[in-house]
């Protein structure tokens, strides 16, 4: 993260760049069919190239919570990330998957879901409706008796590029809902410094600095927008 910070401050030191802070909480899950033995939620933020993570955890896993009588599992998991933003494109999303434990302590997939994060400052309560993929008839019979549900090999299909390509091949069923509270705090995102940063940050040749010359590296960043998969570049997390 420090490296990212240095990279950004070195490049943009003579100018102010917008910052967006996302704080909040993965509050609770409800409506998941088998929450008796515990449910945990694994989450990560997913953003595109113009966003740079400065501080905070971009991925994590909540505690394993056992359902109370009203079928709600309390996660109370803090979210805290700080981004430097060179363009509103690639606004981060929160992607999550919920896992359930069975009576033998084995973990199975309970659901996937994602939400877009609000693009204005303020507080929001977001309810994410989750789904899980269903397998063939045989898989479903097996999952009924054995409990091992079908899961995705790659969760890029949840809201990555693969969603448009491959979602059409899935058959899914609803799983449950996850409640998220987020507070969006923005800095230097407004025209109050005398210029609208967003307006100049739209995908033109020269953004932010306004009247600069066409900047080859920055427009190249647009032609191949890679997914910052909620993880620092290049590090495969040991999930």
Partner 1 sequence: MAASEPAGPPRKELSAFFVVVNGQVESGEFPDDDLYVRYGFSFGPDWTVVDGIETGLSQIARKAPGVDQSVVWNFPVDISFKSTNAHGWPRMSISVYGVDGLGRDVVRGYGSVLIPPFPGGYDRYIHTYVPVPSSLWQRFVSWFTGTYAEFYDSKFVAQGENREVTRVESTGVVKVKFDVLTRGMETLGYQPAHRQVTH
* Residue numbers 160-199 binding partner 1 by CB under 8 A: 181, 183, 185-190, 192-193
Q: Work out how close the CB of 167 gets to partner 1 at its nearest, in angstroms, rounded to a whole number.
A: 21
Contacts of the segment 133-140: beta carbons below 8 A, 24+ positions apart: 133/170, 133/171, 133/172, 134/171, 134/172, 134/173
| 25 and 181 Cβ atoms separated by less than 8 Å | yes
* Residue numbers 93-112 binding partner 1 by CB under 8 A: 105
Q: Work out how close the CB of 228 gets to partner 1 at its nearest, in angstroms, rounded to a whole number.
A: 18
* Residue numbers 34-93 binding partner 1 by CB under 8 A: 38, 40, 54-57, 60-66, 68, 72-74, 76-80, 82
* Residue numbers 110-129 binding partner 1 by CB under 8 A: 115, 118, 120-127
Should residue 30 be labelled a site residue for partner 1 when binding is judged by CB under 8 A? no
In this structure, what token pair is assigned to residue 145?
Answer: 């008796």
CB-neighbour burial class of residue 124 (10 A; exposed 0-12, middle 13-18, buried 19+): middle
Helix (H, G, I), strand (E, B) or coil at 137: helix
Q: Work out how close the CB of 144 gets to partner 1 at its nearest, in angstroms, rounded to a whole number.
A: 25
Distance CA 213, CA 197 (A): 17
Distance CA 213, CA 55 (A): 31
For residues 22 and 221, which CB has a smaller minimum distance to partner 1 in the complex? 22
For residues 22 and 150, which CB has a smaller minimum distance to partner 1 in the complex? 22
In the numeric block, the tokens 């609000």 are attached to: 118
CA 109 to chain centre: 18
For residues 77 and 133, which CB has a smaller minimum distance to partner 1 in the complex? 77
Which residues contact partner 1 (rule: CB under 8 A)? 16, 21, 23-25, 28, 38, 40, 54-57, 60-66, 68, 72-74, 76-80, 82, 105, 115, 118, 120-127, 181, 183, 185-190, 192-193
């Amino acid at each position: 993260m420090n490296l990212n910070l240095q990279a950004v401050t070195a490049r943009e030191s003579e100018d102010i760049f917008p910052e967006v802070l996302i704080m909040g909480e993965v509050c609770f899950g409800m409506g998941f069919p088998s929450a008796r033995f515990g449910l945990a939620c694994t989450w990560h933020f997913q953003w595109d190239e113009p966003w740079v993570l400065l501080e905070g955890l971009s991925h994590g896993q909540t505690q394993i919570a056992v359902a109370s009588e009203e079928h709600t599992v309390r996660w109370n998991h803090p979210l805290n990330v700080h981004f430097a933003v060179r363009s509103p494109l690639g606004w981060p999303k929160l992607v999550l998957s919920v896992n359930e434990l069975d009576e033998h302590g084995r973990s199975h997939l309970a659901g996937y879901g994602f939400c877009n994060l609000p693009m204005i400052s303020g507080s929001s309560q977001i309810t994410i409706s989750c789904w899980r993929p269903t397998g063939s008839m045989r898989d479903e019979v097996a999952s009924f008796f054995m409990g091992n549900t079908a899961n995705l090999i790659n969760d890029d299909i949840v809201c990555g590029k693969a969603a448009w390509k491959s979602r059409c091949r899935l058959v899914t069923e609803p799983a449950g809902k996850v409640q998220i509270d987020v507070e969006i705090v923005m800095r230097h995102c407004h025209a109050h410094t005398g210029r609208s940063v967003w307006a100049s940050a739209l995908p033109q040749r020269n953004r932010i600095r306004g009247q600069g010359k066409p900047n080859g590296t920055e427009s190249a960043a647009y032609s191949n927008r890679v997914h910052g998969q909620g993880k620092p570049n290049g590090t495969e997390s040991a999930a």
